[in-house]
Each structure stands twice: as structure tokens, then as C-alpha cells.
């Protein structure tokens, strides 16, 4: 694929625009958001886009602040992801402790979020999104704080190794090691060892699914839950949703292809290898209950729907929820209000319900 070299702009410009948006957008009524975005709803494949996202897209086009904007600049993309997500992240006060836990390539940085007012509680081992290339503990700190507070659960956020410095399957190996470590250290974390789940968004959803598969195959106890938020389940899927939403819906085909190249190039692992694409696994039986979240305007929608159906066909308990009006990464823009905020609250409520009854 021929990639367009994205026009670089200072991270500070993006952050300034986001700060204004976070303050103003939640107070704008939906009808006015639609008017400001051009006055006409966007309806594709039977779904109508949330007015907040429509206005956000319009603002990105006008200001040139959409996407990662760094088709071949990993450092820039990482800085943009981290700083923009910190600006948009929830400012929630929960106790945290930064840790170093053992990993196959050396110590892994992790952050433990502890719920207040509870004794022993469940734990969600969380793997951040970012295409296996960008993202870290800081970029997803706000989301982890929200999950901790509103799901009344411990969260262990893991800084797994990133590509291109560390190719596949390094990220998977790290996440399996982190989950195994959590199982063995439940008491010191104040965690109910029978209610330890795994979860993540986008690439993190992929990693959580692969942790469940690897755990089954390696004789490690299954998680209490796999929370898969708009995950990538087939790294080179050729689906209808990947075609429909290839550009202009918060993540682009250019970016997903770039991420996959950085993750896989130079390895002996193909994009359709089940070691990196869980949808290609020959056997999905015996896995943990799954909460599968998809979004109507997400390029990854169809493979998420396929994975939910495949899990269910294999006898796995599946709670599949699609938010038709939303786009990829909607939890990261919940601060703008609208349907993304409501859906994020619903997802966290579902995580709490599943871990409470597990």
C-alpha cells in the first residue's frame, strides 16, 4: 500500500485544541453539534454517527489535528498519543502504586490502581491500546482510574514491550507473564484470586484475547473475564467495515497497516497466524467468559462481531454489545460527552457486573 506522508504539527497544537474541546463540547446540545458539523447527519451501513464524534471530526479537519499524523515517525506518534490521551483522561482520584514486575525481556513497568472502601476485590489486568507501537501506562491512566472507581475493582495496567523495537510476539509474552504474576501475587495486591480478569482496548483487546488462549494452552488458570474493547482480532482482515471506515473515523487504514508492518516485519509470523490474530485460532473452546465491545463506525467492527460469534459457537459465554453510533477508541474521547461518555459508563458497569458475579 502507498502511504501518504502525514503533515506533522506540534503536539502542543493538538493538546491546546483538545483542552478547549474537553471544556466546551459536553455543554453543546446535540442539535447544535450537528449544525456546527455541517448540518447533516452521517449515516452509513444503517447507523447514524453520534453528533459529538461528527463535530470532533469536523474540528479535526479544520485544525489539522486528526489522527496520529506520523506515518513514519514512531517517536512523534508516541508523544502525540500519550499527551493527547492525558489531556482527555478522567481526573479521578484513586490510590495508585507503580511497580516493576518480572517479564521475559526484563522488568515490566506496571501501575496498580486500588478501589477505596472495599476489602478484597476483583482485579482487571489491563493492556493498553495503540497498535502494539504506541500507548503506555500514562496514555490510559484516565481510563484505568475510571474502571477502578466505577467498577470497584483493582486494575493492574501493564507497560508491555512495543514494536518496532520489540517485534511480535514480545507484547503477547509480556502480557501472559503479567497475568501469571498477578495470579501469584493476589494476596499482596489485596485481590480476590478467583476474580482476576484480563482486558484491554484495540491492540490491548487483542492481547487480552491471546492471554486467554495462551493460558488455556499452557495450563494457566483461565481469567474470570476477558474484556475485549473494540479489539483487533485479525491483523489483515478484509472486512466490509475496514473498507467503509478506512479514513476519517478516528483511526485510519494507513495507521493500522503501519502498525501491523512495524509489529510483524522481520519476523516469521504472518498476519493470519493465530499467535497474533486470535480470530484465526482453530479452537476457541474452554476460554474465559468474554465481554466483547464493538462500535458501529469502527473499521474493526466486523472482526469483533465475528470473534464474538466464533467464541459463542465454541461454547464460550459471550456478552456482546455494539454501540452503533460510535467509532473506534470511544473510551478515549468520553471527556467530550455525548454517546461516548454514556457507552464508556455502560462498559465499565458491565465489567463490574461480570467480575462481581464470577
Which residue numbers are catalytic? 202, 298, 328
Rounded distance between C-alpha atoms, residue 341 and residue 258, angstroms: 29
Rounded distance between C-alpha atoms, residue 229 and residue 347, angstroms: 9
The alpha-carbon radius of gyration of the chain (Å, integer) is: 19
Rounded distance between C-alpha atoms, residue 351 and residue 289, angstroms: 11
Alpha carbon distances (Å) from 89 to 85, 333, 356? 6, 8, 25
Place of cell 497475568: 179
* Residues in contact with 342: Cβ distance below 8 Å, sequence separation at least 6, in sequence order: none
Place of cell 468520553: 334
Nearest to 285 by CA among 239, 317, 259, 322: 317
Amino acid at each position: 500500500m502507498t502511504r501518504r506522508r502525514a503533515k506533522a504539527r506540534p503536539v502542543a497544537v493538538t493538546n491546546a485544541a483538545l483542552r478547549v474541546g474537553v471544556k466546551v463540547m459536553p455543554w453543546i446540545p446535540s442539535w447544535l453539534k450537528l449544525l456546527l458539523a455541517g448540518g447533516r447527519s452521517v449515516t452509513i451501513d444503517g447507523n447514524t454517527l453520534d453528533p459529538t464524534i461528527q463535530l470532533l471530526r469536523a474540528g479535526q479537519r479544520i485544525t489539522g489535528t486528526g489522527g496520529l499524523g506520523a506515518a513514519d515517525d514512531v517517536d512523534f506518534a508516541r508523544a502525540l498519543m500519550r499527551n493527547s490521551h492525558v489531556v482527555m483522561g478522567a481526573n479521578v482520584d484513586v490510590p495508585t502504586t507503580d511497580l516493576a514486575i518480572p517479564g521475559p525481556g526484563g522488568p515490566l513497568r506496571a501501575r496498580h490502581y486500588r478501589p477505596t472502601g472495599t476489602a478484597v476485590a476483583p482485579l482487571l489486568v489491563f493492556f493498553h491500546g495503540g497498535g502494539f507501537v504506541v500507548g503506555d501506562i500514562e496514555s490510559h491512566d484516565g481510563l484505568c482510574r475510571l474502571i477502578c472507581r466505577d467498577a470497584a475493582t483493582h486494575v493492574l495496567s501493564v507497560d508491555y514491550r512495543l514494536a518496532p523495537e520489540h517485534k511480535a510476539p514480545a507484547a503477547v509474552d509480556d502480557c501472559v507473564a503479567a497475568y501469571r504474576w498477578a495470579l501469584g501475587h493476589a494476596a499482596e495486591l489485596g485481590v480476590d484470586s478467583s476474580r482476576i480478569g484480563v482486558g484491554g482496548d484495540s491492540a490491548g483487546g487483542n492481547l487480552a484475547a491471546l492471554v486467554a488462549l495462551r493460558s488455556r494452552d499452557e495450563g494457566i488458570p483461565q481469567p474470570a473475564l476477558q474484556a475485549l474493547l473494540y479489539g483487533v482480532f485479525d491483523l489483515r482482515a478484509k472486512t466490509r467495515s475496514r473498507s467503509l471506515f478506512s479514513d476519517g473515523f478516528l483511526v485510519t487504514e494507513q495507521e493500522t497497516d503501519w502498525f501491523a508492518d512495524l509489529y510483524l516485519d522481520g519476523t516469521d509470523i504472518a498476519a493470519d497466524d493465530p499467535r497474533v490474530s486470535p480470530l484465526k485460532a482453530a479452537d476457541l473452546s474452554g476460554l474465559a467468559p468474554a465481554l466483547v465491545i464493538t462500535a458501529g463506525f469502527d473499521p474493526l467492527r466486523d472482526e469483533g462481531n465475528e470473534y464474538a460469534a466464533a467464541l459463542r459457537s465454541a461454547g464460550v459465554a459471550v456478552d456482546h454489545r455494539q454501540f452503533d453510533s460510535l467509532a473506534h477508541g470511544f473510551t478515549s474521547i468520553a471527556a467530550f460527552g455525548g454517546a461516548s461518555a454514556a457507552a464508556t459508563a455502560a462498559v465499565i458497569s458491565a465489567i463490574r457486573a461480570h467480575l462481581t458475579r464470577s
